């Protein structure tokens, strides 16, 4: 899978692809990760945009498992996002992204539910991702 996002942002630490259904993924929120520095001084919090990126990277892994590592997948449309609880250092973000059928082969639509370690819902979102197939190496 090609990395089309900026290093060092790894927004998924573990992922399990559920063939034909979706993907489950986890991200450990670690206080010393460089992108957390200064994000709300004195109240370190995982940025909401990174929660979206966690779902994006989880779906990228799903698409790569289904279509090959050489496929490029990027967000086409953010249909909806609701951020409802903060993700703090020490939390584990748990993503469940379920595939929603689409008529277009180059689009992948998912509804994602993101929970914290304590099972509190941190975010809900619906994303549409565009798949750009490239030739296999």
Which CATH homologous superfamily contains domain 14-132?
Hotdog Thioesterase (3.10.129.10)
Q: Where are the domains of the chain?
A: 14-132
In our burial notation (b when 16+ CB lie closer than 10 A, e otherwise), range 43-82 reads: ebebebebbbbbbbbbbbbbbbbeeeeebebeeeeeeebe
pTM exceeds 0.85, yes or no: yes
Q: Read off the pLDDT of residues 67-88 as tens digits, 9 standing for 90 and up.
A: 998 899 999 999 999 999 999 9
pLDDT value, residue 44: 84
**Residue 49 pLDDT grade (very low, low, confident, very high; cuts 50, 70, 90):** very high
Q: Is the peptide bond before 118 cis (omega within 30 degrees of 0)?
A: no
DSSP of 20-51: TTEEEEEEE--TTSGGGTTSSTTS----HHHH
What is the arithmetic mean of pLDDT over 30-48? Answer: 80
Tell whether the model's pLDDT for residue 3 goes beyond 70: no
pLDDT value, residue 129: 97
Q: Is 7 exposed, middle or buried (0-12, 13-18, 19+ CB in 10 A)?
A: exposed
């Amino acid at each position: 899978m090609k990395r089309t996002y900026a290093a060092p942002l790894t927004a998924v630490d573990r992922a399990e692809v559920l063939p034909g259904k979706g993907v489950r993924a986890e991200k450990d929120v670690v206080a010393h990760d460089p992108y957390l520095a200064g994000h709300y001084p004195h109240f370190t919090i995982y940025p909401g945009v990174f929660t979206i990126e966690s779902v994006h990277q989880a779906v990228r892994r799903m698409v790569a498992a289904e279509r090959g590592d050489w496929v490029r997948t990027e967000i086409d449309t953010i249909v909806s996002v609701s951020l409802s609880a903060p993700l703090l250092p020490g939390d584990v973000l748990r993503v469940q992204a379920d595939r929603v059928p689409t008529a277009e082969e180059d689009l992948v639509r998912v509804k994602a539910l993101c929970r914290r370690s304590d099972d509190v819902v941190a975010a809900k979102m619906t994303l549409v991702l565009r798949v750009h197939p490239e030739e296999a190496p």
